[in-house]
Chain A
């Protein structure tokens, strides 16, 4: 397990609802989250030691789009600040690492993305190798289809298993005010739907979403000063697999297995797992790689199948887990974020309550 010198806790968090279309700018989406977390801890924003954001220029269709997002944070007088071109969960990773040096106390973390203005499949095909994959438009849904087919071919899952993930996710989302989709779906009716990417059907895939999320994390003494019920980040780690689908066993996730070991996932109970299940078959791969059994509640929020604002969705998993722990739904759990096609890159974050 990774050695951690400084105990770090989440002291405030906020997310937007997952919007099918947020009819304003990205900073306008982030700003209420930032204002809320600052208000929750009663800090002056100028007293925050470090700020780090995660977003993706390509979603906005404009180079340097992330520069606009500092409007939502405030950068006058000047601030100590950085940005990752990744989901906000990786901004959290860097913020957590930064606190380990012990010379600063608080970090404001955010993640944001607006998928609705662009074509997600066209845009995200540019994530692939630019010489071989991108020219043929090997988009993430196509690769998710390969992954689903590989699971079926290996006898590890059936289309019914996928539909059960969808039905449970949508049912769980009924209690989540931030969810974009929710409801009672029958597995048989789901299986009667046409394929959009065989063997995937429409609801095996995520909705198009806009959203933002923010949190403040702090070192232990500061965390206790700022809030009565900190949620502790016990460990965070991320790992990557080969980019080339033909070099990987698509039915497994070695990177998740390494990260699970590094965060000491099974050194304690795993009551809740909030997983970035962008396509329903991914839940089956993740459960297996994480070694989860029936005692873990998976995606009680509904997960990304019910709202998937890319670049915020991973950080939102951490928030949903923190909220569940604060609500007493569990004492310890794991949040998972993912990046790249077919679960290529994965981050795990273990949270524990203050009990």
Chain B
């Protein structure tokens, strides 16, 4: 049997902010879920199964939280399961939900990812539960320096990404950071956190949730809402450390994108994909992922950024929504990338819409840049490239 076609038929997001102390965890996930259902023209009664994802339970101190969230998610009497694949989890949760629809066993599936960082200590948890940890930036900074050394990229590339994503975020009412006076000078002069990453080149800590309603082809056609067909998805994992590992351009990332493009029939990603939501928690990961996911040749990614190609009006827009640099509820960040990619091909991205976008990708990575999850969405079920 061939996989059953699957489409995004509804999306919902909360406002992302430093502290959502107006809602409990239950309230947070329900807010996103209800918005996604409303967008899909559906209710909880229409949902056959639920898949939730988030980063480590220790971020909020709630063990296996699907157990306490199931009431708020309308899951009573239904299947609900929980995915956890480190930082890639938001995207891999969305992909697990797609698998449920593609299996033919479930017609309509609700998937939700969230983080409420204000209820815990993210840097502690991201350091493996050890105090005095280096945090995610401390892990990635040496690899970024290695990228700069290999590619001979000028130092202003990171500042440009930091400005571009924050300017995009001004068009997105859900974004956490709205910094209208952002500038290259401000980024450059902000405190150095992990050389070469300045404070303003780093993602914020956010509370928030994102939800997607997925339906099979019958459901998508009946919904009357613009569908985003999930025409391809891929996940790859590799060890976090071993001698000879390429931490700048990890092989799992390369193979993940190869698998994604192969399944969709993409032969020239730079030309055939209209825009991308890539997981860029630190500015330099934009050029690194453009190369690491085969959108640019090796050593050429930073030139796309430098030329303005990745800006909203550029030839290959990246992170039109403002990206992880503007909102980072960790476990949800990957699902937000997938959701925003869907918004583009549904034509529902509002002020940050890429005109005529038909093909887009959502991407996330996690762990020591060792977990990858990507999906490709299309305005058409069977696009011809």
Binding site for B on A (CB under 8 A): 2-6, 56-58, 61-64, 66-67, 70-71, 75-86, 90, 93-94, 97-98, 100-103, 123-124, 126-131, 133-134, 237-244, 247, 254-255, 258, 339-341, 344-345
Contacts and interface: CB of A to CB of B under 8 A. Distances in A.
A62 B236 CA distance: 23
Given A75-B239, A85-B83, A3 B105 contact: yes
Nearest to A134: B62
A101 B81 contact: no
Interface residues of B, number: 61
9 contacts: A58-B64, A62-B129, A79-B236, A80-B236, A83-B84, A97-B99, A100-B104, A103-B3, A340-B64
B96 A82 contact: yes
A76 B57 CA distance: 27
Nearest to A60: B129
Interface stretch (B35-43, B65-73, B205-213, B288-296): B65-73
A82 B1 contact: no
Given A84-B83, A130-B25, 18 more contacts: A57-B58, A66-B84, A75-B238, A75-B370, A77-B251, A81-B235, A82-B85, A82-B235, A84-B84, A86-B81, A93-B79, A100-B102, A100-B105, A101-B99, A130-B68, A240-B66, A240-B67, A339-B64
Contacts of B238: 75-79
Nearest to B254: A78
Nearest to B69: A243
Contact of A82 (B3, B76, B92): B92
Given A75-B238, A97-B103, A239 B78 contact: yes
B79 A237 contact: yes
Contacts of B71: 242-244, 247
Contacts of B85: 82-83
Contacts of A70: 237, 239
A56 B385 CA distance: 43
Interface string B20-60: 00001100000000000000000000000000000111111
Contact of A63 (B103, B125, B252): B125
Contacts of A254: 77
A264 B25 CA distance: 36
A243 B102 CA distance: 29
A226 to B, nearest CB: 20
A270 to B, nearest CB: 22
B105 A2 contact: yes
A324 to B, nearest CB: 26
A347 to B, nearest CB: 9
B350 interface: no
Contact of A64 (B56, B60, B96, B242): B56
B128 A64 contact: yes
B102 A101 contact: yes
A100 B239 contact: no
B79 A238 contact: yes
Contacts of B370: 67, 75
B235 A64 contact: no
Contacts of B76: 240-242
A85 B78 contact: no
A80 B235 contact: yes
Given A64-B56, A67-B367, A124-B63, A240 B104 contact: no
